[in-house]
């Protein structure tokens, strides 16, 4: 590693190794960081994507309903959820959910990783336990993995839901007041067509942008949530390395999050140009 060399040479060595996919070796696990990260990344991604998925399927309709029924009870529920989602720190919501659903009610399994003690991981295809167990037809493992996923992903979803629902509501409300919605009404288009084909698609652009932003927040938030739920992902890996002053994993973690972030923004931009033809032209 050249620790006796000058800082510049050390950095040069680091860069050369990096180009070959070598992020150094962890002191605590004794394994190459790249291998550690690759083993743990699917666990983090599975959790984050499921959290985002729940946030989207709850947040978008909630925002839409709130926009089409302003000041109704659904609008108030939306406001309550988004405000509390923003205000409560995720490790706290995570602890509260564990306290209620595991300790008090006993509905959820112990927050101890991706599977309960009696299950073994499914055959590795994608690294996502839900997909792998479904592919292998091992429904007992699927159920176990899902049960373990529910609380942490809801914790993440509660956090991600707030900006999504709020932006959807605001965007749709703005579009519904615009001139072309008025002309669509004057032309006698059915309400459903106006709402979906005209209003929703036009308000989707800020929503997709927010989705990208929320996903990157989630990658950061993951560090705490994974710790609370003893999730064997890259977040808890980085946190443990940080406490042990094990710098290579931390570097690797930061770098891989940055790469994920860039990829994500690329996907968001591509999606935007699909939705709005004007974006493509401007680029």
Partner 1 sequence: MHTNLLLSVQNLSVAFDTRHGRVAVLDKVNLNLHKGETLAIVGESGSGKSVTAYAALGILDPAGKITNGKVEFEGRNLLELSSQEMRKLRGRDFAMIFQNPRTALNPIRKVGRQIEDVLQAHNPGMGAKARKEAAIEQLASVKITDPTRRYNAYPYELSGGMCQRVMIAIALACKPRLLIADEPTTGLDVTTQVVIMDLVHELAQAHGMATLLITHDLGLAADYCSRIAVMHAGQVLEDAPVATLFKGARHPYTARLMAATLQPGITLEKLVSIPGQLPDLRQPQPSCRFSTRCERCLPQCKEPGLALMPYSNNTSHLIACRNPL
Where do contacts with partner 1 occur on this chain (CB under 8 A)? 178-180, 182-191, 193, 197-198, 201-202, 275-278, 281
Residues 6+ apart with CB under 8 A from 188: none
- The Cβ-side half-sphere exposure at 120, using a 13 Å CA radius, reads 2
Question: How near is the Cβ of 212 to partner 1 at its closest, in Å?
Answer: 19
Question: How near is the Cβ of 280 to partner 1 at its closest, in Å?
Answer: 11
CA dihedral 115, 116, 118, 119 (to 10 degrees): -20
- The helix, strand and coil proportions of the chain, stated in percent and rounded to the nearest 5, come to 75, 0, 25
Question: How near is the Cβ of 189 to partner 1 at its closest, in Å?
Answer: 5
Question: How near is the Cβ of 276 to partner 1 at its closest, in Å?
Answer: 5
Q: What angle do CA 205, 211, 212 make, to 5 degrees?
A: 100
Burial of 52 (C-beta count, 10 Å sphere; 0-12/13-18/19+): buried
In this structure, which long-range contacts are made by residues 139-143, counting pairs with CB atoms below 8 Å and at least 24 apart in sequence? 141/115
Place of tokens 């690329």: 266
Nearer to partner 1, 161 or 184 (CB): 184
Question: How near is the Cβ of 76 to partner 1 at its closest, in Å?
Answer: 18
Question: How near is the Cβ of 83 to partner 1 at its closest, in Å?
Answer: 23
Question: How near is the Cβ of 277 to partner 1 at its closest, in Å?
Answer: 5
Question: How near is the Cβ of 243 to partner 1 at its closest, in Å?
Answer: 50
Residues 6+ apart with CB under 8 A from 46: 127, 128, 129, 130, 149
Nearer to partner 1, 114 or 169 (CB): 169
Using DSSP, state whether 25 is helix, strand or coil. Answer: strand
Chain centre to alpha carbon of residue 16: 32
Query: Could you tell me if 112 and 155 are in contact, meaning their C-beta atoms sit under 8 angstroms apart?
Result: no
The H or E element spanning position 239 is helix 234-243
Residue 108 has φ and ψ, to the nearest 5°, of -95, 150
Nearer to partner 1, 118 or 179 (CB): 179
Nearer to partner 1, 184 or 257 (CB): 184
Nearer to partner 1, 173 or 244 (CB): 173
Nearer to partner 1, 19 or 281 (CB): 281
Nearer to partner 1, 16 or 185 (CB): 185
Nearer to partner 1, 136 or 193 (CB): 193
């Amino acid at each position: 590693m050249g620790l006796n060399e000058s800082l510049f040479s050390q950095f040069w060595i680091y860069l050369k190794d990096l180009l070959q996919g070598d992020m150094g070796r962890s002191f605590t696990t004794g394994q190459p960081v790249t291998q550690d990260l690759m083993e743990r990344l699917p666990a983090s991604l599975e959790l984050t994507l499921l959290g985002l998925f729940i946030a989207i399927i709850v947040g978008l309709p909630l925002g839409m309903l709130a926009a089409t029924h302003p000041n109704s009870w659904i609008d108030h529920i939306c406001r309550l959820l988004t405000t509390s989602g923003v205000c409560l720190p995720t490790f706290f919501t995570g602890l509260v959910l564990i306290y209620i659903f595991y300790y008090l009610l006993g509905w959820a399994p112990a927050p101890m990783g991706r599977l309960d003690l009696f299950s073994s991981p499914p055959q590795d295809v994608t690294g996502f336990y839900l997909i792998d167990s479904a592919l292998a037809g091992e429904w007992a493992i699927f159920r176990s993995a899902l049960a373990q996923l529910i609380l942490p992903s809801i914790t993440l979803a509660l956090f991600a839901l707030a900006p999504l629902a709020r932006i959807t509501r605001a965007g749709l409300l703005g579009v519904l007041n615009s001139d072309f919605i008025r002309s669509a009404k004057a032309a006698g288009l059915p309400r459903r067509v106006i709402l979906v084909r005209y209003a929703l698609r036009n308000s989707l652009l800020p929503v997709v942008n927010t989705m990208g932003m929320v996903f990157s927040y989630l990658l950061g938030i993951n560090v705490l949530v994974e710790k609370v739920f003893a999730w064997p992902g890259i977040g808890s890996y980085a946190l443990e390395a940080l406490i042990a002053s094990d710098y290579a994993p931390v570097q690797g973690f930061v770098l891989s999050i940055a790469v994920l972030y860039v990829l994500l923004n690329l996907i968001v931009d591509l999606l935007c140009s699909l939705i709005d033809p004007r974006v493509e032209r401007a680029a």
